[in-house]
Amino acid sequence: MLLRRLLDPDETTRRRRLRARIVRRNRIQRERDQGLEPKLRRLPKPKERTINDYGWDPVRDDHIQRENGMYVAREKLRTPPVMQGVEKVAPRFGREPPRGGTGIVDDPKAPDTKKRATNQVDSSSDTPNTRPLPFSPPKESSVAPRTPQNERIRQRWRDMLQTLLIQRHTEILSKDPNRKWRQERLGLLLFQRQQYKKASEHLTQAVVLNRNSGVSPSSLCWRRLAECHMHLYEETQDWDVLWDARAAYEQAVSHVEMACNPYVLFDYARVLEALGSYTSALSTYASIVTTFPRFAKLRDVQWHFVLLQRHRLIATRDDLTPDEKKRTLLKSIEITKKLLLDKTLASISDPRYPIVLYVHIRLHELLLDLSIETEGIAVRLQLRQAADTAMEELFKVVAQMNIMEVNPKMPPKIWWTKSETYMQFADHFQSEDSSIAASDALSRALELMNGGKAATSTMDPKQKIALYLVMARNDYASNQMEKAIRAMETIFEIDPFLPEVRQSLSDWFPAKWK
């Protein structure tokens, strides 16, 4: 504290003023939330009243009192006897009349006025009390309406204030960079200004200073640091930055307020999915679906959940019984049906619509293969009809969205059994950043080439190399390095002189191919 006062003598006064402003701002916001009229200006304290002209005793009940066997409202008790027969005059300039005395003299020449005022008082006593409730919203709000011009003015003031705060924090940190609170505040301000690289540096410094002093960093600091890393990964595509984002999210969700935030959990699951940790991402998506059924991005969560379930059933070696696989497939099909009934997603303008249709057809085909031995002909026929209907819809959507060249005279069933169709699907899915769907399409194309329904016994080596090369790139983009190396080794066996294959193997697996 002594060093701080020597470097900045006005720091204590400035902190007191800032604390008072924060308290006042919170009070005004709390009163507005409660529906009260906020006190924007300080009012002088009321003087102590020594003369009780209204016959009011604060010791007695404040709400109602008994008078001649009847309950009388406190407004009537507060009104002096002289004022009960006189019409109330509106105050000038918004001020009330003084309460020290009545200030009214009975005029014998004005009996009609008194009689009219008496009738008004009697008629108003029959009506219920119309005073506003303590928490009712004010009739005329003093807050200015939110117009585009006001929003621009507020934004300009906000930017100006942030600029001043950033300059002040930078000036102080240039003299003493070991202030962890200022490092964190400066990082949060830079994050609001979308300067993610500088923000990540200051937030990282704040984390280091907090840990050195034995204090746990705040959950907001961890969350903003993870979001900075995510933005930097989108710009640079650096895997180290993505791993840093995962570490920051893991620290953030260790706090209760972040573990109960579905937006944080959704971003954390997206990071896990980008890193290829499909099992952890699937469990996170499942917890969001079950815990937050009214989440605003629930459709996106369900979509990623279905993709990971499909990958789990096909690509992994989980020891699932046929009954468990069947229940999982039925649940996934129900989710895809809900997605296809969604108005925003089930439209040609949404690029995810053909991907949902494709996954819906593939789930039906997998369920049909499982139901050959257990279900009857009627159930299998119903599944086949549902798959054919979705296939015809996908055939029309592909032609309308110009995803690939489609022969309109070709039947959809024949079009669905060609390996070239799945190759074009894989290219489209990769362009939409759906690596799981692209991997499924590539595996289906390879299956058809190696002896499927529409392939011959011999394969063109160039076509096979192109297919495995696309598979290796897709697996590398989804951080499935084992599959990517295996695909590159297959290409190396066919043609060992391709420069891309040799360079990729030496970079991905230097212990074997250096």
Residue type, 70: M
Q: What is the mean pLDDT of residues 3-27?
A: 78
Q: Is residue 290 part of a domain?
A: no
Among 393, 411, 443, the domain boundary falls at: 393
pLDDT at site 457: 43
Domain check: are 311 and 389 in the same one? yes
CATH of the domain at 484: 1.25.40.10
Do 11 and 4 touch, CB atoms closer than 8 A?
yes
Domain check: are 386 and 429 in the same one? no
Q: Of how many residues is the chain composed?
A: 514
Please check the confidence at residue 82 and state whether its pLDDT lies above 80.
no
pLDDT tens, residue by residue, 279-322: 999 999 999 999 999 999 999 999 999 999 988 887 766 677 88
**Structural domain count of the chain:** 2
CA 202 to chain centroid:
24
Domain check: are 428 and 388 in the same one? no
Q: What are the backbone angles phi and psi of residue 386, rounded to the nearest 5°?
A: -65, -40
Please check the confidence at residue 60 and state whether its pLDDT lies above 60.
no
For 112-176, the three-class secondary structure string (H helix, E strand, C coil) is HHHHHHHHHHHHHHHCCCCCCCCCCCCCCCCCCCCCHHHHHHHHHHHHHHHHHHHHHHHHHHHHC
pLDDT at site 405: 83
Q: Give the integer Cα–Cα distance in Å for 313 and 92.
A: 80
Q: Is residue 504 part of a domain?
A: yes
Q: Give the integer Cα–Cα distance in Å for 183 and 199.
A: 9
Q: What is the mean pLDDT of residues 145-156?
A: 80
Residues of the domain holding 465: 421-513
pLDDT tens, residue by residue, 392-447: 889 988 888 888 888 888 888 889 988 888 988 988 898 888 888 888 888 888 88
Domain check: are 340 and 389 in the same one? yes
Domain check: are 357 and 430 in the same one? no
Q: Is residue 182 part of a domain?
A: no
pLDDT at site 43: 59
Bridge partners of residue 65, in order along the sequence: 72
Q: Is residue 244 part of a domain?
A: no
Question: Taking all residues of the chain, what is their mean pLDDT, rounded to a whole number?
Answer: 78
Please check the confidence at residue 104 and state whether its pLDDT lies above 60.
no
pLDDT tens, residue by residue, 170-202: 999 999 999 999 999 999 999 999 999 999 999
Q: What percent of the chain has pLDDT over 70?
A: 75
Nearest to 179 by CA among 13, 21, 15: 15
Q: Is residue 216 part of a domain?
A: no
pLDDT tens, residue by residue, 325-375: 888 889 999 999 988 888 777 777 788 889 999 999 999 988 888 877 677
Q: Is residue 344 part of a domain?
A: yes
Among 376, 393, 410, the domain boundary falls at: 393
CA 416 to chain centroid:
38
Q: Is residue 359 part of a domain?
A: yes
Is the torsion defined by CA of 433, 434, 435, 440 positive or negative? negative
pLDDT at site 7: 58
Nearest to 449 by CA among 479, 483, 422: 422
pLDDT at site 70: 45
Do 385 and 355 touch, CB atoms closer than 8 A?
no
Q: Give the integer Cα–Cα distance in Å for 211 and 207.
A: 6
pLDDT tens, residue by residue, 201-232: 999 999 999 999 888 899 999 999 999 999 99
pTM of the model: 0.67
User: At how many degrees (to 10) do helices 262-274 and 298-314 cross?
Assistant: 30
